[in-house]
Amino acid sequence: MTFSITARCPETGQFGIAITSSSIAVASRCSFARAGVGAVATQNITDPRLGPLGLDLMEGGVGAEAALANLLDGYRDAEFRQLALVDKQGDVAHFSGAHTLGTHAVAIGPGAVAAGNLLAGTGVPAAMLARFEATTGDSFAERLLAALDAGLVAGGEEGPIHSAGLLVVEAEAWPLIDLRVDWAAPDAPLEELRKLWQAWQPLMRDYVQRALDPGQAPAFGVPGDR
């Protein structure tokens, strides 16, 4: 019921996840990233605890593969989970348990892993990764969104998608980008997510500056603002 791409940008050091699902509010439960550390997508019959735990492990100095092994060690419900991790070196790891739903697949490349379950076909993650790798001239966020679009064109899920999210971290403790479409008409959330991105992109650096240096930050441009 979900397909996603989890990646690191070698040029900027950003980590990000783009994700979509037939389920409501997928990004709130499945996408986790931490600046300077890595990113974890935890999906299928989701356990949101695994995201922060994986990030804690990688922040403690272990790579993606070791973090994944640690998460799975002694974890009784592992066979119900699908996980994708990327660490600060750009190394990736993934796992799809025996009870991963429906048709499922994973595709990996340098600093990126695409994964999905209840897919229309096994080629969906490979199509996502190919688009991500082909859009190197675009911003990291644009590349992640392009990967989602490619996944949908390749067939997406067996049924219609309803929610989507884009999460990118860079240098601060809070996300540079955290945009979510929690529920939309069938197969419409990616279009809605891109509209949010287009509105957020020209303002996102301003919001960072307002946090770090409010005296020099640009005005809001709203009635009553001085």
CB environment 170-184: b (16+ within 10 A), e (fewer): beeeebbbbbbbeeb
In this prediction, residue 222 has a pLDDT band, given cuts at 50, 70 and 90, of confident
CA dist 219 and 225 (Å) reads 7
pLDDT over 70 percentage in the chain: 100
- Mean pLDDT (the chain) is 97
What are the pLDDT digits (tens) for 37-46?
Answer: 999 999 999 9
Q: What is the pLDDT of residue 221?
A: 79
Q: What is the pLDDT of residue 219?
A: 85
**pLDDT at residue 118 greater than cutoff 80:** yes
In this prediction, residue 226 has a pLDDT band, given cuts at 50, 70 and 90, of low
Average pLDDT over residues 166-175: 98
**pLDDT at residue 49 greater than cutoff 70:** yes
**pLDDT at residue 53 greater than cutoff 80:** yes
Q: What's the pTM value of the predicted model, to 2 decimals?
A: 0.97
What are the pLDDT digits (tens) for 56-73?
Answer: 999 999 999 999 999 999
